Structure 1
Amino acid sequence: MTTEDQNVALVKALYASWHETKGDPRPFLDHTAEDATLHSLSGGAPGVEFTRRCGSKAEIEHYFSTLLRDFAMNHFTVDEVIANEDRVVVLCRTSWTSRLTGKTFETPKVDVLRVVGGKISEYAEYYDTARVEAAARP
């Protein structure tokens, strides 16, 4: 099995768990490097301040805990996982409901991860920021 195959298998398993548990971040955190970074397209916008750039595993853990405090996952559906060397791209769709406003949104999403030695060192997520931010606004 190539490193790309191992990375794809790992990422598929992590995303399957994420969907099945409706947001248990522990499998992701167990496979996150201490100095990992996370870039979210909303970049800390009002109502979704937790999306600001993260520069450590501890900050990523805070990102997940705040996301799950403020939003409830309806689904997280992976359509395709593509790898090139240590980069893994996840094409997916997701829907969440704001626990604060009761508003639901659905968005296509692309996640780009860097996986080195079985650990995620970079996360980047791209989605429809207007939908997410509108759901967070009262």
Structure 2
Amino acid sequence: MSTEETARLIRRTYEAYGRGDLQTVFAGLADDIEWTSQGADDALPWAGRFSGHDQVGQFFARVAETVAVETFEVLDIIVQGDRAAVVARITARLRTNGLPLAAEKADILRVRDGKIVRFTEYYDTGLVARTLAAPAEEQRPA
């Protein structure tokens, strides 16, 4: 795939995610997608490795059960050939304790035959785990 084709696919997929359009997101993923979300799975319900559409669907379900995404903004997309890096900012509210969460993340992707075949996300897992574990009272304004 050319750099331009990869960039179009990545942009289209991330724009779809930002709109909550998972059908379009999945259309951009290969059937044998390898999806990795960093973190300890005992602290972050969505952390781990997921293979194929069914397991990636489980990833998205775990995220949706735990987090209400309020904003999702792509800050930068860097593409070379069949590889891409995406930097994004997310603001959300945790369903578990009502606390707000704001974090930046970096994703590394690989494309083959017009589909994303590998996705790995990196973010401050410690911050997210601490916020998930915190009682709501800890972060309420005085």
Kindly name which structure, 1 or 2, has the bigger radius of gyration based on alpha carbons: 2
Residue segments in structure 2 that go unaligned for 5+ positions in a row: 136-142
TM-aligned CA deviation for residue 118 of structure 1: 1.5
Structure 1 equivalent of residue 50 of structure 2: 54
Correspondence 1:33 to 2:30? yes
Distance 2:21 2:108 in 1: 20
Residue segments in structure 1 that go unaligned for 5+ positions in a row: none
TM-score by length of 2: 0.86
**What amino acid does structure 1 have at the position aligned with 2:16?**
S
Identity of aligned residues (%): 25
Q: CA deviation digits over 1:13-62, x for unaligned, max 9?
A: 2212222x2x332221111112111111114232x222111122211111
Structure 1 equivalent of residue 60 of structure 2: 64
Correspondence 1:125 to 2:121? yes
**What amino acid does structure 1 have at the position aligned with 2:39?**
S
**Aligned residues: CA RMSD:** 1.5
Counterparts in 2 of 1:40 and 1:76: CA distance versus 1, 3 Å: same
Pairing of 1:57-136 with structure 2 (within 5 A) = 57-136=53-132
Q: How many residues align?
A: 134
TM-score by length of 1: 0.88
**What amino acid does structure 1 have at the position aligned with 2:51?**
G
2:16–2:25 CA contact under 8 A, matched in 1: no
